[in-house]
Amino acid sequence: MVTWDDILRITRAENPAPPRRVERPDDDWRARLTPEEYRVTRGRGTERPFSSEMCSLFEPGRYACVCCDTVLFDSSEKFESGTGWPSFTQPTAPDVVAYHGDQSLGMHRVETTCNVCDAHLGHVFPDGPAPSGLRYCINAVSLKKIKGTDAV
């Protein structure tokens, strides 16, 4: 289980090696993604809170990166945070999410990105439920719900 202390240590040191890498030219990302997906994932944007029905969906399944299909989160770790973005307590594996210190907007936060393709996902905070105490606050547009184990 990833802890807040682990995340702080990683942001000061180095993210784990990703399971694989996906790199594409910017033109390719623009062609593959909708304008909103591109703005959020490649441009480090944020979608409006409560703009996605994904916040209230809790059916079994997994959530993959919209850019590279890497499985990032499982519905068993999803919870209602009331923040307006899908929230999770843990990633599916310790090497699929990368952490970066974020000093934007006059705040000290930890940005989360896909460790495989560098897509911006959202942020992680130490105010989630037990046992991890983590809240991965993720832009719904950066995720796609998948069924089964057909994503990598």
Q: Which residues are catalytic?
A: 137
> What three-state secondary structure class fits 93?
coil
Rounded Cα distance, 5 and 12, in Å: 11
DSSP state string for 36-70:
HHHHHHTT---PPTT--GGGG---S-EEEETTT--
What SS3 class is residue 99? strand
